[in-house]
């Protein structure tokens, strides 16, 4: 008889991967480089060094090296909360009555509440190693800001966080966790930067956006000696660090000889789907396997399903380099009643290229359907999921229900990237029936896309 | 060379204990029985059955059976979040510079955020097995209410929670988690019960207490057909279920041949310290080992260190049976500026008897010192602890610092019973320096003790 798969598959500590995987090494069509918004030339490391940490820039520009050694202090920190379990969703399967086998990689069992800690600790390490005094960043739903605060506390670095104002108000306790870890948190847009002042003047009463907050964080980093800017998603380096999720998932699946059919992750800036699916995409790129991948994005911020594959600013203030992404335009701001994160107008250039080349499907889902899945999951599996992760849950349940109809015993694996303990305002709206769906009009999408820069796109 | 102890010791799923341990079987002096407040006779199971579930009453009254089989459905549910890790606090040891070896059993990695789920799932199971429609309970900080909501959702039972009003207001999001799991939550004292109306009339503006909320929950249970009352601490049955913590800790320590010197847990109603320390106390009672035990209580609610070993009501409304406890009097209500839980005026009769017989030390600590330890722990170990658990952290750090002075390499093990994600109002007060200590005056203590009942104490 075949051994029963345990409820939770844990690797041993000595099985934690000691290298990150760089999917770019296996891509035939490499992701387009960051370019200068003035004349469109590809950014050099010398141009990037004043903004970002040097070692991270090397990782950012390296499309060839397949594996990067994880520095020893980062590996040690990983042991604080990793390996994370790969959970067999027996309880959810039973609740759905599906013949599908569902697994999830659970990245939420740490105080930052999400996978973001995987990259923040790496970035803080390189900042410290470079002798910096501190770092600046933006945060949307607060997961990244919390993760960076924890990492900076560990390496004794200053941490200045610009938090999207609507999230700052919806999630007052996120700020408190960051403060407990010694970070300073400013709601964005703010009066502490020139770009913040301008955005406030142009859009009084705005709830902010990730794009605004990025502009403010970058301005503060380049104007403060001893500081650099760090980013929790979108960049190649972030997908590199987050590959630890997919690598561990692969190792856990291998332990029990489990072959996935469908791999699912949510899509915001790309750290979640990219980190989880990246190593599996590598297998496909190398011709070693064949999986179905589904990236799930919010219908209120549909970068892949309604955006354009083009060069665009990463930030609303248009002071950052241009990246080639699927984008809704840097001026696009999702409706304030969109809960959770996943509110970035663009996406990781790596994922943009892979999507363009047909390696995965993107699916947009509405938030009431997402919270419906979240509640179903919470009651079955005993974990209150983050709204972001619940996008993946929604599609995992949909696919499992298809299996129920067809009788297929597919193996579905998704990334449960975080917990929803700081998203209770959104859960309250859902519980009280006041949550609405907000799908941008065709006009709003067209308006956003009309403002794409000419540089890089002509 | 001796094998290095891992950062986290996980048992395998098949190593989860399949029986609970009943410390009463090894006690020479058994805990005093619950008695009737009218004439002081020991309650019979027939008298208890209208209030509590029948199978739980059998457990409550059984002082002889050493081990109880854990029902299969409860064991399966345990696999959702157990085994919980025994963590070696390498990072904290380094931060303190102590030669002590510190371990903690981490019970917070589940959505209820604490160990309370261990007993709630057992109690919900027995209620369902008895064919009940629902259960009522009280909750202080919200951990127990959340745990019971999750358990009731799993077994499809109605769940009515009376939540201490001051916690209801400090922790709005706790209510939302309970609602997500389908429970109804009422701030206590409320107008939904006779006893609630009376308390409100006598003490307008009161923040409530666990004692008030118990009265309301019991009144609702006995006056609603198909309902029974369940309790998250104090009772013998709860310590029985919570023994899973200590049993797992023993198994994990044994795996690496680790011998503890000091065992530490916090003291509220007793489920935390009793569940963790119980199986180790059993070793001592049987003469097999010798450990130092420290129970830690808040200076604002010092049942052991300033209370009296006497029969008392478990509830403020004085409608419940009498239990022999260390008590501050059932009318004692801790200052509203005491954060966190551990606000019960009494304690488990089992622990009361063991303390009376000299088996452990009790120590009272002030809350600013507790939050100071909590923040130090969060920064070192990456886990934001619950205020309750932070009482144990405070004393673990104190003992580790003593080792630093003396050079002793003692092995300290404590119960990290929960996380503080819903306690951010208290963390905010601490971060902003507005948190104060509140030690009851001698007059307040004397006033509480003057109101002890005569029954059972003459």
Q: Is residue A10 in a domain?
A: no
Q: Which two tokens stand for residue A83?
A: 């390996």
Indicate yes or no: CB of A79 within 8 angstroms of CB of B177: no
Mean local confidence (pLDDT), A43-63: 97
Q: Which tops the pLDDT comparison, B171 or B168?
A: B168
Q: Is residue B236 in a domain?
A: no
Cis preceding-peptide flag for A363 (omega within 30 of 0):
no
Among candidates B244, B276, B283, which has minimal Cα distance to B16?
A: B244
Does residue B214 share a domain with residue B122?
Answer: yes
pLDDT in tens, B358-381: 999 999 999 999 999 999 999 999
Residues β-bridged to residue A297: A364
Question: Are A385 and A416 a contacting pair, CB within 8 Å?
Answer: yes
Residues of A with CB under 8 A from a CB of B: 6-8, 10, 12-13, 77, 79-81, 91, 109-111, 113, 150, 153-154, 172-173, 176-177, 179-182, 375, 378-379, 381-384, 419, 421-422, 424, 427-428, 431
> Cβ contacts (< 8 Å) between B6 and chain A: which residues?
12-13, 79
CA distance B126 to B55: 6
Among candidates A111, A109, A87, A110, which has minimal Cα distance to A380?
A: A87
Tell me how close the Cα of B394 comes to any Cα of chain A, in angstroms.
17
Q: Is the pLDDT of residue A2 over 80?
A: no
Does residue A429 share a domain with residue A313?
Answer: yes
Q: Pick from B91, B180, B421: which is nearest to A80 by CB?
A: B91
Does residue B274 share a domain with residue B129?
Answer: no
Does residue B162 share a domain with residue B219?
Answer: yes
Question: Are B268 and B342 a contacting pair, CB within 8 Å?
Answer: yes
Indicate yes or no: CB of A111 within 8 angstroms of CB of B378: yes
Band (A359; pLDDT cuts 50, 70, 90): very high
Mean local confidence (pLDDT), B169-181: 89
Range of the domain at B189: 20-69+116-229
CA B320 to chain CA centroid, nearest Å: 19
Q: Pick from B111, B375, B384: which is nearest to A384 by CB?
A: B111
Q: What was the pLDDT predicted at B81? A: 96
Q: Pick from A79, A150, A381: which is nearest to B80 by CB?
A: A381
Look at the alpha carbons of A371, A372, A373, A374 in this order and tell me if their dihedral is positive or negative: positive
**Cα separation of the two ends of chain A:** 62
Band (B1; pLDDT cuts 50, 70, 90): very low
Q: Is the pLDDT of residue B135 over 90?
A: yes
Q: What was the pLDDT predicted at B172? A: 83
The residue among B204, B229, B254 that closes a domain is: B229
E strand or H helix at B386: none
Mean local confidence (pLDDT), B108-118: 95
Q: What was the pLDDT predicted at A158? A: 98
The reported pTM is 0.96
Q: Which residue has the tokens 């609702």?
A: B220
Does residue A42 share a domain with residue A108?
Answer: no
pLDDT in tens, B230-261: 999 999 999 999 999 999 999 999 999 999 99
Question: Are B148 and B221 a contacting pair, CB within 8 Å?
Answer: no
Indicate yes or no: CB of A422 within 8 angstroms of CB of B422: no
> Cβ contacts (< 8 Å) between A153 and chain B: which residues?
379
- Percent of chain B past pLDDT 90, that is, above it, reads 88
The residue among A199, A229, A259 that closes a domain is: A229
Task: Find which of A171, A178, A181, A384 to mutate to test the B interface (most B CBs within 10 Å of its CB).
Answer: A384
Q: Pick from A177, A379, A383: which is nearest to B153 by CB?
A: A379
Q: Which two tokens stand for residue B193?
A: 């019960």
Mean local confidence (pLDDT), B132-151: 94
Q: For residue A48, how many C-alpha atoms fall within 13 Å in the half-sphere facing its CB?
A: 22
Task: Find which of A7, A172, A180 to mutate to test the B interface (most B CBs within 10 Å of its CB).
Answer: A180
The residue among B170, B201, B229 that closes a domain is: B229
- Percent of chain A past pLDDT 70, that is, above it, reads 100
Among candidates A371, A146, A388, which has minimal Cα distance to B424?
A: A146
Residues of B with CB under 8 A from a CB of A: 6-8, 10, 12-13, 77, 79-81, 91, 109-111, 113, 150, 153-154, 172-173, 176-177, 179-182, 375, 378-379, 381-384, 419, 421-422, 424-425, 427-428, 431
Tell me how close the Cα of A139 comes to any Cα of chain B, in angstroms.
19
DSSP state of A35: B
CB atoms within 10 A of CB A401: 14
What value does the mean pLDDT of chain B take? Answer: 95
Q: Is residue A76 in a domain?
A: no
Mean local confidence (pLDDT), A284-303: 97
Does residue A325 share a domain with residue A286?
Answer: yes
> Cβ contacts (< 8 Å) between B109 and chain A: which residues?
109
Q: What was the pLDDT predicted at A1? A: 47
Band (B335; pLDDT cuts 50, 70, 90): confident
pLDDT in tens, B286-311: 999 999 999 999 999 999 999 999 99
Mean local confidence (pLDDT), A71-85: 97
What value does the mean pLDDT of chain A take? Answer: 95
Phi, psi of A200 (to 5 degrees): -65, -35
Helix B172-180 vs helix B143-155: crossing angle, to nearest 10: 10
Q: What was the pLDDT predicted at A335? A: 83
Does residue A263 share a domain with residue A409?
Answer: yes
Question: How, if at all, do strands B86-88 and B101-106 pair?
Answer: antiparallel
Number of domains in chain A: 2
- In CATH, what number is assigned to the domain containing residue A148? 3.40.50.1100
Does residue B126 share a domain with residue B266?
Answer: no
Does residue B292 share a domain with residue B150?
Answer: no
Q: Is the pLDDT of residue A24 over 80?
A: yes
Tell me how close the Cα of A445 comes to any Cα of chain B, in angstroms.
34
Q: What was the pLDDT predicted at B316? A: 81
């Amino acid at each position: 008889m075949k051994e029963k798969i345990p409820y939770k598959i844990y690797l041993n500590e000595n099985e934690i991967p000691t290298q990150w995987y760089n999917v770019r090494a296996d891509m035939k069509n490499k992701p387009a480089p960051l370019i200068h918004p003035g004349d469109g030339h590809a950014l050099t490391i010398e141009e990037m060094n004043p903004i970002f940490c040097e070692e991270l820039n090397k990782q950012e520009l390296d499309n060839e090296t397949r594996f990067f050694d994880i520095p020893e202090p980062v590996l040690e920190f990983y042991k604080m909360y990793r390996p994370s379990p790969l959970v067999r969703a027996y309880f959810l399967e039973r609740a759905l009555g599906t013949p599908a086998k569902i697994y999830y990689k659970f990245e939420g069992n740490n105080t930052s509440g999400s996978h973001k800690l995987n990259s923040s600790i790496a970035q803080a390490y390189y900042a410290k190693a470079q002798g910096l005094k501190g770092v600046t960043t933006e945060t949307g739903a607060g997961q990244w800001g919390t993760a960076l605060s924890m990492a900076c506390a560990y390496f004794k670095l200053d941490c200045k966080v610009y938090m999207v104002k609507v999230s700052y108000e919806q999630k007052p306790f996120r700020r408190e966790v960051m403060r407990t870890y010694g970070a300073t948190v400013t709601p964005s847009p703010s009066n502490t930067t020139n770009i913040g002042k301008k955005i406030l003047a142009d859009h009084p009463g705005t709830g902010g956006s990730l794009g605004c907050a990025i502009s403010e964080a970058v301005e503060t980093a380049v104007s403060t000696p001893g500081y650099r800017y760090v980013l929790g998603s979108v960049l190649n380096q972030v997908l590199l660090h987050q590959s630890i999720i997919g690598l561990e998932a692969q190792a856990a699946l291998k332990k029990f000889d489990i072959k996935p059919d469908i791999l699912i992750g949510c899509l915001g800036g790309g750290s979640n789907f990219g980190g989880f699916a990246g190593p599996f995409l590598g297998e496909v790129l190398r011709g070693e396997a064949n999986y179905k991948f589904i990236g799930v994005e919010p219908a209120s911020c549909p970068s892949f399903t309604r955006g354009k594959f083009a060069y665009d600013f990463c930030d609303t203030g248009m002071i950052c380099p241009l990246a080639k992404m699927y984008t809704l335009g840097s001026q696009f701001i999702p409706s304030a009643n969109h809960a959770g994160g996943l509110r970035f107008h663009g996406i990781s250039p790596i994922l943009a290229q892979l999507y363009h080349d047909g390696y995965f499907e993107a699916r947009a889902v509405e938030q009431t359907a997402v919270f419906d899945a979240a509640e179903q999951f919470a009651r079955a599996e005993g974990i209150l999921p983050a709204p972001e992760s619940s996008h993946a849950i929604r599609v995992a349940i949909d696919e499992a229900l298809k299996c129920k109809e067809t009788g297929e015993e597919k193996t579905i694996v998704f990334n449960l990237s975080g917990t929803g303990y700081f998203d209770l305002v959104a859960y309250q709206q859902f519980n009280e029936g006041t949550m609405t769906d907000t799908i941008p009009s065709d006009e709003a999408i067209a308006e956003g896309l009309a403002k794409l820069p000419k540089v890089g796109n002509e």
